[in-house]
Amino acid sequence: MTTPKPPKKGAIIELDQEDFQGEVVIHKNLTQDVVLTTEDKLRLALIQHRETLNSRAEWLGAGTLTLSFLSTLLLTTFKDVGPLSSSTWQAIYFIFFVLAFARLVNILVKMYVNRKKATIDYVIKKIKQSGTPEDGE
């Protein structure tokens, strides 16, 4: 019965002197962290990260809509159309503007509050934590 040989430690690197001029420095950085987690925890962390990233782009649509209603209010002379008077049309557009502006402010506040959650380091930290990721952080 023979015992298996232990694996060799180290590496062999063959370099031609023609490829390099001067001194060659090799840096070793081979430390690794291994994270074991469940699929549902990983899925939840990635879904939350995707929602955070989506909200970062959401302000553009809300801002455009707000600007459209504002420009309509400022540049349009409303007229009576059908059963609605010009002042009714102006009130309708003003309500739409207020709602769009409120949505824009809400999105901007969420972006500010969640600004640190949009990083890869935050997602990795959440995955490494024991338990499930919490919404309140």
Q: What's the rounded Cα separation, in Å, for the pair 51 and 18?
A: 52
- Is 136 inside a domain boundary? no
Residue 42 token pair? 């990983």
- Is 21 inside a domain boundary? no
- The number of folded domains in the chain is 1
- Predicted local confidence at residue 128, as pLDDT: 84
Domain span including residue 65: 39-128
- Predicted local confidence at residue 62, as pLDDT: 92
How many beta carbons lie within 10 A of that of residue 133, not counting itself? 19
- Is 15 inside a domain boundary? no
What is the residue-level pLDDT of the chain in tens, covering all 137 positions?
667 666 667 667 676 766 666 676 777 777 787 788 888 888 988 888 888 888 778 889 999 999 999 999 999 888 888 888 989 999 999 999 999 999 999 999 988 888 888 888 888 888 888 654 454 44
Q: What's the rounded Cα separation, in Å, for the pair 46 and 12?
A: 40
Q: What's the rounded Cα separation, in Å, for the pair 12 and 14?
A: 7
- Predicted local confidence at residue 19, as pLDDT: 66
Q: Are 86 and 79 in contact (CB under 8 A)?
A: yes
- Predicted local confidence at residue 7, as pLDDT: 64
- Is 28 inside a domain boundary? no
Q: What's the rounded Cα separation, in Å, for the pair 35 and 12?
A: 30
33 to 36, 55, 70, 128: CA distances (angstroms): 10, 30, 52, 10
- Predicted local confidence at residue 11, as pLDDT: 67
